[in-house]
Amino acid sequence: MIFSSETKNRLEVGFTYAGIILFVVHCLIIQFIDFGFIPTEALPKNLFGSPFASLFTPFSILLIYEVYLLIYYLRESYTKSVSKQIEIMALILLRNSFKDIDKLMQGHTQLFQSELIKDVTGFIALLVLLWAFYHLDKNRKGIKYSLSPNFVLLKQRISVALFWIFMALSIYSIGHWVMGLAQFQSHGMQQDPSHIFYSEFFTLLTFVDVVLLLSSAKNLSNTILVIRNSGYVLSTLLMRISFSLVGWERIGAVVIGAGLAVFMLWISEKDAFRSKGV
């Protein structure tokens, strides 16, 4: 069973070892470039120009496991899966912050004009919002509502389908990027690693959220919960849009999306909605 506790624990161990091994490999490649065994122009500098760039790799592996956890918790709780979305976006920003360290250390860019300061600012903002989200979720009064067996079964089937699509999309996206990396010396431009897999996955996730929203509307007696879930869909969409933006607009879209999720969770717990049963 792909969502059993045993499978989850095995994947956690597997991703841990994979992160360590690939981190060492990344470090070795950077050293080979420094020693002249690999031409400097053969690989992009933002990923292989500094030892600090090797930190990009273990965070990438951690992100893949976080996506699995998102799908894992989608079966159990829509709200929990939304928190995982925010965690993934925070980790993407943290991972991206390592790309510009080499330029900063060599004085090619100023701190407050670099992507580093933007990514770190967004990361801190998301951590604060994530803390607020978990605080609200932990202290929820718990609106009681029943879900039909058909809706529960639908969530299970969607999660399984999403897992296999996730696997196929991961293999395709990473393979396509590695091929581009191998041809970097002759073709030049390399796709931004932030756009690998995640833009497509969040697009798919947005449509999955809509399907769950439309299905849950028939199963939830409390309208505010349907409105809350609608806000979650918009939150996912804003996070997806961020992959098409640059600079502060990119950070703004992510933070607004996460902030919307926090607001929807907060407002859905207000007594005014609960007492009137809307």
CB burial of residue 30 (10 Å; 0-12, 13-18, 19+): buried
Neighbours of 127 (CB within 10 A): 16
CA distance 35 to 242: 38
Mean pLDDT to the nearest integer, 187-192: 56
Find which of 91-105, 170-184, 228-242 is predicted with most confidence, using mean pLDDT. 228-242
Going from the C-alpha of 93 to that of each of 46, 96, 242, 258, the distances in angstroms are 15, 5, 11, 13
Mean pLDDT to the nearest integer, 164-177: 78
Mean pLDDT to the nearest integer, 21-36: 88
Kindly state the tokens that stand for 41: 């122009």
CB burial of residue 188 (10 Å; 0-12, 13-18, 19+): exposed
Q: What is the pLDDT of residue 259?
A: 95
Q: What is the pLDDT of residue 252?
A: 95
CA distance 105 to 122: 22
Between 246 and 147, residue with greater pLDDT: 246
User: pLDDT for 83-135, tens place per residue?
Assistant: 999 999 998 888 887 766 666 666 666 666 667 888 889 999 999 999 999 99
Q: What is the pLDDT of residue 276?
A: 47
Kindly state the tokens that stand for 90: 């925070």
| pLDDT grade for 249, boundaries at 50, 70 and 90 | very high
Does residue 208 register a pLDDT over 60? yes
pLDDT > 70 fraction of the chain, expressed in percent and rounded: 78
Q: To the nearest 10°, the Cα dihedral for 66, 68, 201, 86?
A: -30
| pLDDT grade for 198, boundaries at 50, 70 and 90 | confident
CA angle centred on 241, ends 112 and 160, rounded to 5° = 125
**DSSP class of residue 108?**
S
pTM of the model: 0.82
pLDDT > 90 fraction of the chain, expressed in percent and rounded: 15
In contact, 52 and 186? CB cutoff 8 Å: no
Q: What is the pLDDT of residue 277?
A: 43
Mean pLDDT in the chain? 79
The secondary structure of 124-182, three-state, reads HHHHHHHHHHHHHHHCCCCCCCCCCHHHHHHHHHHHHHHHHHHHHHHHHHHHHHHHHHH
Does residue 22 register a pLDDT over 70? yes
CB burial of residue 263 (10 Å; 0-12, 13-18, 19+): middle
Kindly state the tokens that stand for 209: 């959220």
Kindly state the tokens that stand for 220: 């939830």
Residue type, 134: Y
